[in-house]
Amino acid sequence: MDYTVIWFILIVVLFTGFFFLEGFDYGVGTLMPFISKRDDERTAIIRTIGPVWDGNEVWMITAGGALFAAFPHVYATMFSAFYLALFLMLVALILRGVAFEFRAHTPCACGRQAWDAAICFGSAVPAFLWGVAVTDLLAGLPIGANMAYQGTFFDLLTPYSVLGGLTFLFVFGYHGAAFLTLRLKDAGLILRVQSLGLRMAACGTFAFVLWAVYTYQATTLFQSPLAAVLLAGAGLFFVMSGLSFSIAKGKASFMLTSLSIVCTTVAVFAGLFPRLMVSSLNPAWSLTIANASSSPYTLSIMTVAALVLVPIVLIYQGWCWYIFRKRVGIGDEEKH
């Protein structure tokens, strides 16, 4: 197999892992202020992701690093195209990370409420912007023959991309609700999570169907049989997850919504292959795994490094999840 194909697959794996793991992180942070007004309950909700949220973000950093090393032209064009969007995302993520750390050290209730708002903002904005970015990649961007982005920030915000952003926001919100039902102890809190989660599932289903129809009309994704089957499977899994959630089967609903996110991510890349960025000005100017890759020698060295290091990272993260596998209850932090 060609090295460019290997690294395309590896980038798909990294982004799939990122959306699966960070998806429920974003969902938990987004829903937290709407689930409860009580400080102790909000603390319990935050503690469900406290030990793992920063590890989950490593998948994004690794995916960006792999993209930079394997397909530097794509990295350069993508970051120039999404420069302002990425800046807004970075600000939101910084606020979110700071809020996680400083909330527990703030004595006054009003201060903790401000940090809670920062967590919500820092979770919802990246979720929305990732949906916008993925949708724009499918629809195509004004990329010239010199691989340079020729649009503005507002060219990224179309009705289609905004719909994609809302779809990601609702799906991640529901993903977070399903995760919380597996991690919380208190029955009353879980019931409120289920109530809000059902509403997010309904909104997510409606938005996903509209997004899929729009994708069929506005992109070439469905020209790939694999992408079409995966996207149809993603929709089916999401509906099945919502039905499972409605009868309080938390583990099944979380597994099904995870499958839906995985299938959607793989479908997007399968629909793009062998392209990584589509030019809306001229299809011949699209960035592909052939014209945007590093040299074969560079890719061969990186492949050896990835084969050694990726399993170590996976083992460590699996161990971390095993250590923090127990449910979280209200007031547990005081007992310890």
* Cα 193 from chain centre: 20
Confidence of residue 336 (pLDDT cuts 50, 70, 90): very low
Rounded mean pLDDT of 74-78? 92
Distance from C-alpha of 201 to C-alpha of 239, rounded to nearest angstrom? 8
3-state secondary structure of 118: helix
Distance from C-alpha of 239 to C-alpha of 290, rounded to nearest angstrom? 38
pLDDT over 50 (residue 7)? yes
Q: What is the pLDDT of residue 326?
A: 83
- Which of 215, 178, 162, 180 lies closest to 42 in space, CA to CA? 180
pTM exceeds cut of 0.85: yes
pLDDT digits (tens, 9 = 90+) for 12-35: 999 999 999 999 999 999 999 999
pLDDT digits (tens, 9 = 90+) for 152-190: 888 899 999 999 999 999 999 999 999 999 999 888 899
Whether the CB-CB separation of 214 and 134 falls below 8 Å is answered with no
Whether the CB-CB separation of 207 and 163 falls below 8 Å is answered with yes
Q: Which residue has the tokens 């729009």?
A: 214
DSSP label at residue 144: -
Exposed e or buried b per residue across 208-233, where buried means at least 16 C-beta atoms within 10 angstroms of its C-beta: beebbebbeeebbbbebeebbebbeb
Exposed e or buried b per residue across 287-321, where buried means at least 16 C-beta atoms within 10 angstroms of its C-beta: bbbebbbbeeeebeebeeebeeeeeeeeeebeeee
- From residue 90, alpha-carbon distances to 22, 66, 77, 211, 226 in Å are 15, 19, 18, 26, 33
- The token pair at 205 is 């289903």
- Which of 48, 11, 41 lies closest to 27 in space, CA to CA? 48
3-state secondary structure of 55: helix
pLDDT digits (tens, 9 = 90+) for 180-213: 999 998 888 999 999 999 999 999 999 999 999 9
- The token pair at 12 is 């798909």
Distance from C-alpha of 230 to C-alpha of 232, rounded to nearest angstrom? 5
Sorted by sequence, the CB contacts under 8 Å of residue 207 that are 6+ apart come out as 163, 166, 167, 170, 171
Residues in the chain: 336
Share of the chain above pLDDT 70, in %: 98
Q: Residue 313: CA atoms inside 13 Å, Cβ hemisphere, count?
A: 15
Rounded mean pLDDT of 208-226? 93
H or E element in which residue 262 lies: helix 250-272
Share of the chain above pLDDT 90, in %: 66
Q: What is the pLDDT of residue 179?
A: 95
- The token pair at 320 is 């971390």
